[in-house]
Structure 1
Amino acid sequence: MAGDAGFLLAKLHVAGSVLNNRALAGFGLKERSFSVLALAASGLEPTQREMAEFLSLDPSQIVALIDELEGRELVMRAPGKQDRRAKTVTTTEEGDGVFRQATSAAREAEAAALARLSAEESGQLKALLRKALWG
């Protein structure tokens, strides 16, 4: 199994998720809600559907995550510019602040998860993962 990429990726994901969720807990976030917050803070003004597609989540899961973040006044929905029925999601001022702080904590968790790698190896791993995912 140690030579199986799927197994290795799954193990790395689990270890990273534990560290990420621990780091994000102080902000009342978990990986999924942080991912939604990150997309909302990206400046791209993604729609709920685009978020669901990018994160490979069911649209109902995205709605629940956005509802939670909106209830905490971290994000807001607005009608889409091209299709007013589509809702775009952006961060509020408070959401931007929480995102910046949570990002710092997530980076520390990532560093802990990849501590056995050199900076060069860590960069290569990320480049290879991006290539495998998006070409």
Structure 2
Amino acid sequence: MTTEHIKAEGSEDTSPFGQQKYDDLWGRPGYLVRRLHQIHIGLFAEACDGLDLTAVQYAMLSVLYGGEEFDQLSLSKAVGIDRTSGADVIKRLVRRGLATREPSVADRRARVVCITESGRAFVRQVRPMMEAAQDNFVAPLSPDERDTFMQLLRKLIEANNNASRAPMK
């Protein structure tokens, strides 16, 4: 590496560890977000052990629980996943009897997804487990830190939403 590439200590391009900015994995926001996501998925899976349920499946059921009908694409966008992944998740929910998927009356090309009564009961059953996973996830933070963390997460998501492969509505 030439001296042109080495920045003075304390400059914007140097990490607190004296390394070039982003040399260290722990200095990369994207890496930390991915790692944090892995941890969340593990906590959710542990809390919902034996239910054969993913966090994304529960998110879809939670959106449907509000009672509104969604076409497959709108439901996928509401959860922030791409159309193909959304269709796969919906198939699994339908197969389990937690949701229905029928042709739309307004647009025969679209398929409308609704939650079933079994799906509603399942959401109510899983809710305490989901809450426990969320609580465990943020437990190391003080209440003020949790508020700040949530505000910063929302700010980053809103500012970068269009860069996603599956922008949310």
TM-score (norm 2): 0.69
| Larger deviation, residues 40-49 vs 4-13 | 40-49
Unaligned runs of 5+ in 2: 1-24, 160-169
The answer to whether structure 1 residue 40 and structure 2 residue 69 are counterparts is no
Counterpart residue identity of residue 140, structure 2:
R
When Rg is computed on C-alpha atoms for both structures, the one with the higher figure is: 2
- How far is 1:81 from its partner? 5.8
Gaps spanning 5+ residues in structure 1: where? none
Instruction: Indicate the residue corresponding to 2:48 in structure 1.
Output: 24
Task: Show CA shifts across 1:60-119 (max 9, x none).
Answer: 322222122112111112344643431221211110111122222111011111111012
More helix by share: 1
Aligned partners of 1:24 and 1:54: how far apart in 2? 23
- Determine the C-alpha separation between the residues in 1 that align with 2:108 and 2:146: 42
Task: Note if contact 2:63-2:78 (Cα within 8 Å) is conserved in structure 1.
Answer: no
CA distance in 1, matches of 2:131, 2:31: 24
Runs (4+) off by over 4 Å: none
Paired positions, count: 135
Contact 1:74-1:91 within 8 A present in 2 as well: yes
Greater shift in the superposed pair: 10-19 or 83-92: 83-92
**In 1, Cα distance between the equivalents of 2:124 and 2:150?**
21
Deviates more, 1:85-94 or 1:8-17: 85-94
The alpha-carbon distance between structure 1 residues 125 and 80, as it changes in their structure 2 partners (threshold 3 A), is farther
Query: What is the TM-score when the length of structure 1 is the normalising length?
Result: 0.84
1:89 aligns with 2:113: yes
1:44–1:124 distance in 2 versus 1, CA, 3 Å: farther
Aligned pairs (5 A) from 1:1-135: 1-80=25-104, 82-135=106-159
Contact persistence 1:39–1:46 (CA under 8 A): no
CA distance in 1, matches of 2:105, 2:158: 27
The one of the two structures with greater contact order (alpha-carbon pairs below 8 A, sep at least 6) is 1
User: What is the Cα deviation at residue 32 of structure 1?
Assistant: 2.3
Pairwise CA RMSD: 2.1
